């Protein structure tokens, strides 16, 4: 492994910070949602109805209160030897409504402290600019990312953070899992499709706005600091064909293309040729304005980051409908794979395949910015968790990642997802834990929020100390 390999961990602001109205912060989608047992998925399907409902408990409002614990938490990350820490800036701390002209100083000051704290320990911040937290006011007043005005608001936000943190942050990701906008548009783009007649049209127009915003942000970033490294971020996972029947293979091929579509634009700088047919068959006519295509072409990303939890499986046979859950997209159940308690399939070799495929396709440096196992932990009376299952998951995935590097893949780093327990993005629960650090907090908000090292804490510390030699 390269001696500069960036080992670390990752979180997202809206899943860990809490302090949901502190110091002038505005509201974002997660601030309006309960957990899965109290209607989270129903709320996502009918947001207006959800807005009229007062839920008993909102998991994001206090979350693990990283807002007030960040010094202690970053000290623990430093103790594990993190070289990098991925977090996101919560857009609504900087621009509470999204359309203000001037940024909120208190929000900027908070992230100054976070990055200073990281740098104090020699930890390189890796920052997601938009991780599922488009301001609620931009949804209410503009309809979210289906409105082109969001591009300007996003750029104004980028300008504020690039200028402010130009000497503290080098690695930036423009949008978390940009492909999320077609799978779960309310989360990826804060757009409500309830009254839309051509859903695909609205989704891909919003995607065009995000792709344009990403390219313009890349341009701006390089102008502000040519040393900046700007990455796209793909919710990744190779799709396998259920059989060698060519219909299955073709279906799997196209399933991956649906996601690679985004990276094709962000890396190659133009809409892929296969999108013409897809747009035609789905009655999609993108409103592309003068200059847009040049911007996409001229401002491609410096690297590709990805989340990887599992591979996916598909079949062209409609009778094959044995589904299981997964990140963003459900998959067919793969008989050769074990699943997590949430039904996510565990496939380390799938990581090696995914990395190789991405590198073959784009020849750009890759960065794994999410990988991990969401599991139910059972702490003993001293809050110690023997999470051998988590260690096993990471061990096998790191082995696969090392194999991919030996295959020739250029990989800059690996940040495990939820390095400290945080609120789950999909179900809003604390019980789906990914961390090396246990946080005493349950699904209803009970607990001291104290932090405790799990068994995996020392294990990962040694992995980093030996640069991945001892697993």
Annotated catalytic residue: which of 62, 117, 124, 177?
177
- Shortest distance, CB of residue 263 to ligand BG6, whole angstroms? 16
Q: Other CB atoms closer than 10 Å to residue 146's CB: what's the count?
A: 22
Longest dimension (CA), the chain: 64
Measured from the CB atom, the residue of 233 and 295 that comes closer to ligand BG6 is 233
> Residue with structure tokens 């565990």?
346
Q: Other CB atoms closer than 10 Å to residue 276's CB: what's the count?
A: 10
- Shortest distance, CB of residue 274 to ligand BG6, whole angstroms? 25
Q: Which two tokens stand for residue 313?
A: 């499986």
Q: Other CB atoms closer than 10 Å to residue 284's CB: what's the count?
A: 17
Q: Say if CB 451 and CB 72 are below 8 A apart.
A: yes
**Contact residues for ligand BG6, defined by CB under 6 A:** 12, 15, 176-177, 235, 307, 327-328, 370, 374, 417, 424-426, 432
Distance CA 93, CA 87 (A): 14
- Shortest distance, CB of residue 61 to ligand BG6, whole angstroms? 17
Measured from the CB atom, the residue of 83 and 432 that comes closer to ligand BG6 is 432
Distance CA 197, CA 274 (A): 24
- Residue 444 annotated to the active site: no
Measured from the CB atom, the residue of 242 and 432 that comes closer to ligand BG6 is 432
Annotated catalytic residue: which of 370, 386, 429, 444?
370
Measured from the CB atom, the residue of 271 and 308 that comes closer to ligand BG6 is 308
- Shortest distance, CB of residue 326 to ligand BG6, whole angstroms? 10
Q: Say if CB 163 and CB 224 are below 8 A apart.
A: yes
Using alpha carbons, select from 122, 129, 89 the residue that is nearest to residue 107.
89
- Residue 177 annotated to the active site: yes
Task: State the Cα angle at 211 between 157 and 250, rounded to 5°.
Answer: 150
Measured from the CB atom, the residue of 27 and 160 that comes closer to ligand BG6 is 27
- Shortest distance, CB of residue 101 to ligand BG6, whole angstroms? 30
- Shortest distance, CB of residue 327 to ligand BG6, whole angstroms? 5
Q: Say if CB 451 and CB 66 are below 8 A apart.
A: no
Q: Other CB atoms closer than 10 Å to residue 469's CB: what's the count?
A: 10
> Residue with structure tokens 């341009």?
219
Residue nearest to ligand BG6 (CB): 426
Measured from the CB atom, the residue of 179 and 201 that comes closer to ligand BG6 is 179
Using alpha carbons, select from 364, 406, 145 the residue that is nearest to residue 267.
364
Using alpha carbons, select from 52, 164, 33 the residue that is nearest to residue 107.
164
Task: Give catalytic residues, as residue numbers.
Answer: 177, 370
């Amino acid at each position: 492994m390269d001696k500069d390999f960036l080992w670390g961990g990752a979180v997202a602001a809206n899943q860990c910070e809490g302090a949901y109205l502190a110091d002038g912060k505005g509201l974002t989608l997660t601030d309006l949602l309960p957990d899965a047992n109290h209607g989270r998925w129903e709320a996502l399907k009918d947001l207006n109805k959800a807005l009229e409902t007062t839920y008993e408990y909102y998991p994001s409002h206090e979350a693990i209160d990283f807002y007030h614990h960040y010094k202690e938490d970053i000290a623990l990350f430093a103790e594990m030897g993190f070289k990098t820490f991925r977090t996101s800036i919560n857009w609504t701390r900087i621009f509470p409504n999204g359309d203000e002209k001037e940024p909120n100083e208190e929000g900027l000051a908070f992230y100054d402290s976070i990055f200073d704290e990281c740098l104090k320990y020699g930890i390189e911040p890796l920052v997601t600019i938009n991780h599922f937290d488009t301001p609620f006011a931009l949804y209410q007043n503009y309809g979210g990312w289906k409105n082109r005005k969001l591009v300007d608001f996003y750029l104004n936000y980028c300008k504020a953070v690039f200028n402010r943190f130009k000497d503290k942050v080098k690695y930036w990701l423009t949008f978390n899992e940009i492909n999320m906008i077609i799978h779960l548009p309310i989360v990826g783009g804060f757009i409500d499709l309830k009254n839309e007649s051509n859903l695909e049209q609205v989704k891909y127009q919003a995607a065009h706005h995000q792709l344009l915003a990403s390219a313009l942000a890349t341009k701006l970033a390089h102008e502000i600091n040519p040393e900046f490294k700007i990455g796209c971020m793909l919710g990744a996972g190779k799709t396998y064909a259920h059989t060698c029947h060519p219909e299955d293979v073709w279906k799997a091929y196209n399933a991956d293309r649906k996601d690679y579509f985004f990276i094709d634009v962000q890396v190659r700088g133009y809409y892929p040729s296969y999108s013409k047919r897809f747009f035609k068959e789905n009655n999609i006519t993108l409103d592309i304005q003068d200059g847009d295509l040049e911007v996409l072409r001229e401002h491609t990303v410096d690297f590709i980051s990805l989340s990887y939890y599992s591979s996916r499986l598909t079949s062209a046979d409609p009778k094959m409908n044995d589904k299981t859950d997964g990140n963003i997209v459900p998959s067919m159940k793969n008989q050769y794979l074990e699943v997590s308690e949430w039904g996510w399939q565990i496939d380390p070799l799938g990581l090696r395949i995914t990395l190789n495929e991405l590198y073959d396709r784009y020849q750009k440096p890759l960065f794994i910015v999410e990988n991990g196992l969401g599991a139910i932990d059972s702490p003993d009376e001293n809050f110690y968790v023997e999470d051998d299952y988590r260690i096993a998951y990471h061990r096998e995935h790191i082995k696969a990642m090392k194999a991919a590097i030996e295959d020739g893949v250029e990989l800059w780093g690996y940040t495990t997802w939820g390095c400290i327990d945080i609120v789950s993005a999909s179900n809003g629960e604390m019980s789906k834990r990914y961390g090396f650090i246990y946080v005493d907090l349950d699904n209803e908000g009970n607990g001291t929020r104290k932090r405790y090292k799990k068994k995996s804490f020392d294990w990962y510390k040694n992995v980093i100390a030996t640069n991945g030699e001892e697993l």
